Structure 1
Amino acid sequence: MSEGPVRKPVQKVIRPRVGNDRGVFQMGTSQIKRVGLGRRHWGDIYHWMLTLSWTHFFLLVGALYLVTNLAFALAFFLVPGSISNARPGYFLDTVFFSIETLATVGYGYMNPGSTYGHIVASTEILLGMVEVAAVTGLLFARFSRPTSRIMFSDVAVITPFNGVPTLMLRTGNERGNLILEASVRATLIRRETTMEGQIFTRFYDLQLEREHSGVFALTWTILHKIDESSPFWGKSQQDLHNEGATLSVAVSGTDDTLNDFVHARQTYAAEHIYFNHHFADIMSDKLEGNVRILDYSKFHDIYPDGTAGGSMPGAALAHPG
């Protein structure tokens, strides 16, 4: 009876909050905390607003709307007679009048009742137009940002391929369209000790079997042969772990639907690089009519070398070298 597939979720990339000196950048299992950047500069608030989650963005917009209305309602309330036909001492009347003024609705029943009231109302109308324009621009910018639906395998594997130890990982296009002029880059990041005893972080760009694809429609298996020129040469999984190694992969191209540049990236910690394993075959040899089946439910499945269920079985590989 063949051994079943092995699955282990990868440590996902956690992006730091832009402009936050307490942001923690996580790559694989390594974490880097940024300090000493000083306070957030207001000049970067546009970028910060674009990087907020949708939930936080709408909460912030709602809070801004509420605070603005309450602030101007209080300004009207503190000076009696500022609003004609408002009930004296009734704060809700000033709140509703502030909302109508900010939205430039003007139902007609309540209106500014003094010079002070006109000044406050004019200021609120001007601020309201600025806020509406800013929020509209931010909404358009957020919706118009090109996004990719590129998936990565949960793990990378090292297995013999054409007799050569090879690092493999999978990526796939989840959308039913094309990514044109796609390219991929893979980088190994690890700590090294110099001759002077200093710990230094080195970045090694990996030589891939194919770095460019004119059309990326379905899946793409990324291959890196491990020979004497490879930073993986002679390394075991324990060696990679001791060096704090992280594999970073980035895919980019032009989405033919959006006609815009899209990209995606993923990182793999040392424990998510499986030696002596290979990926399951997701392309079925059986035809349904004239259609072959590409089964994405097996996209992340891997098998130990020498067992059935995979597309690239091979002899056991302790480590290259």
Structure 2
Amino acid sequence: MAMAQENAAFSPGPEEPPRRRGRQRYVEKDGRCNVQQGNVRETYRYLTDLFTTLVDLQWRLSLLFFVLAYALTWLFFGAIWWLIAYGRGDLEHLEDTAWTPCVNNLNGFVAAFLFSIETETTIGYGHRVITDQCPEGIVLLLLQAILGSMVNAFMVGCMFVKISQPNKRAATLVFSSHAVVSLRDGRLCLMFRVGDLRSSHIVEASIRAKLIRSRQTLEGEFIPLHQTDLSVGFDTGDDRLFLVSPLVISHEIDAASPFWEASRRALERDDFEIVVILEGMVEATGMTCQARSSYLVDEVLWGHRFTSVLTLEDGFYEVDYASFHETFEVPTPSCSARELAEAAARLDAHLYWSIPSRLDEKGQTQVPGQLNVVGGERVRQGPYECTKAGEPPQNLGSGIQLGQERS
């Protein structure tokens, strides 16, 4: 009884649950950037690029501006046509058949407004016609025809660009709801999955990933949204995607990774956001398309792997998007990638010196590393379990497997 109490005194208490902190997303899951521009004093800069300003407007504002642009133009020129008729006295000689007006059958402001619409839209009903006895009317007709063509080109161009914006294509580019951390070829990797729902493909597709978190410099400067690139194969070309079927994008957690010293528990206590960006050209239009998503700390699953969604059918491959977001647990060490690499190095050193000397008498050789050659047989090293410095390293799963020793 006393021994049990003594052991209980030295046994560690229950682990505290990971500390979760709420974080405001920088980029929403659907790709919208959660940033609003406030206190912009130099608003005139928006007018220097009026076309982009109109394209970026919400649909209801764009439609309102579209209607107002035409209506105000028709009203403006209709008022000028009425002023010309009023100034020439045409409205006072409506019943005088000997009087030659500027515009035939223009008897008021409504008629002038209708004539303005007919002129700018080139309808030409033929009831109201300009005469050759009105030089000011001829000049106004030329001005309205030119200005009307400019308004048509500008407004139709804005609506066409707004309708054909490539961000609508990005709605069919999907990202997995979670990112995962697990072993790949004995190395810890952070992975997420991307897919394209359409049959038309994204040309020259490329993927990027950025880590967003706050940091403080050595001088004490606080940077709330510091951006760090996560390598997803830029050096090897793996960031260039042939996105015909869903792909798992992998970030190897090596010495250059910001997660090099992050264990499972440290990762769960951290506060960060991973923003992923997929870019490419739309095959049908050639326009550049960009799709974005993000993962918070609680959306990164340690020790999970994505379920396969690709199956081989009779003469073709089939993608099951019902399992696109599904993951399953796999054996994964809870230590950091640095500790895992140190454990692997200790295991290599242990293998190098622990092979019996009688194997050397048979002419068998050993090569330090993950794959050793022993008398023609191979010594395989699987994933390593993390151990403290000075302790013998362990192997996950089946451990070290030696080939049969020859007699």
TM-score category, normalised to shorter length:
0.7 to 0.9
More strand by share: 1
Q: Which runs of 5+ in 1 are unaligned?
A: 1-8, 15-24, 306-312
Q: Which letter maps to 1:239?
A: D
- For 1:266-277, what aligned pairs fall within 5 Å after superposition? 266-271=292-297, 273-276=299-302
Q: Which letter maps to 2:213?
A: R
1:69 aligned onto 2:74: yes
- Structure 1 residue 277: Cα displacement: 5.9
Counterpart position of 2:257: 230
1:38 aligned onto 2:6: no
- Structure 1 residue 192: Cα displacement: 0.4
Residue 133 of structure 1: SS of its match in structure 2?
helix
- Structure 1 residue 160: Cα displacement: 3.8
Counterpart position of 1:103: 121
Residue 96 of structure 1: SS of its match in structure 2?
helix
Alpha carbons 1:157, 1:169 under 8 Å: kept: yes
Q: Which letter maps to 1:11?
A: K
Alpha carbons 1:170, 1:221 under 8 Å: kept: yes
- Structure 1 residue 202: Cα displacement: 2.7
Alpha carbons 1:157, 1:278 under 8 Å: kept: yes
Residue 74 of structure 2: SS of its match in structure 1?
helix
Residue 236 of structure 1: SS of its match in structure 2?
helix
Alpha carbons 2:178, 2:301 under 8 Å: kept: no
State the Cα deviation string for residues 121-148 of structure 1 (Å, max 9, x = none): 4332221122123334445655676555
State the Cα deviation string for residues 222-262 of structure 1 (Å, max 9, x = none): 1112244321242423312xxxx33222223455554x363
Aligned equivalents of 1:256, 1:104: Cα separation in 2: 37
Root-mean-square deviation (Å): 3.4
Residue 249 of structure 1: SS of its match in structure 2?
strand
- Structure 1 residue 65: Cα displacement: 0.8
Greater Cα offset, 189-198 or 261-270 = 261-270
Aligned equivalents of 2:41, 2:304: Cα separation in 1: 44
Aligned equivalents of 2:138, 2:28: Cα separation in 1: 60
Counterpart position of 1:296: 321
Aligned equivalents of 2:184, 2:63: Cα separation in 1: 50
- Structure 1 residue 115: Cα displacement: 5.1
Alpha carbons 2:270, 2:297 under 8 Å: kept: no
* Residue of structure 1 aligned with 2:276, choices 213, 227, 249: 249
Aligned equivalents of 1:128, 1:141: Cα separation in 2: 20
* Residue of structure 2 aligned with 1:51, choices 48, 56, 77: 56
- Structure 1 residue 55: Cα displacement: 5.3
Change (3 A) 1:208 1:197: same
TM-score if structure 1 supplies the norm length?
A: 0.72
* Residue of structure 2 aligned with 1:172, choices 177, 195, 204: 195
More helix by share: 2
Residue 251 of structure 1: SS of its match in structure 2?
strand
Larger Rg: 2
Aligned equivalents of 1:51, 1:142: Cα separation in 2: 8
Change (3 A) 1:194 1:139: same
1:135 aligned onto 2:150: no
Q: Which runs of 5+ in 2 are unaligned?
A: 1-26, 91-101, 340-407
Aligned equivalents of 1:106, 1:112: Cα separation in 2: 11
Equivalenced residues, count: 283
Residue 78 of structure 2: SS of its match in structure 1?
helix
Aligned equivalents of 2:79, 2:147: Cα separation in 1: 16
Counterpart position of 1:281: 307
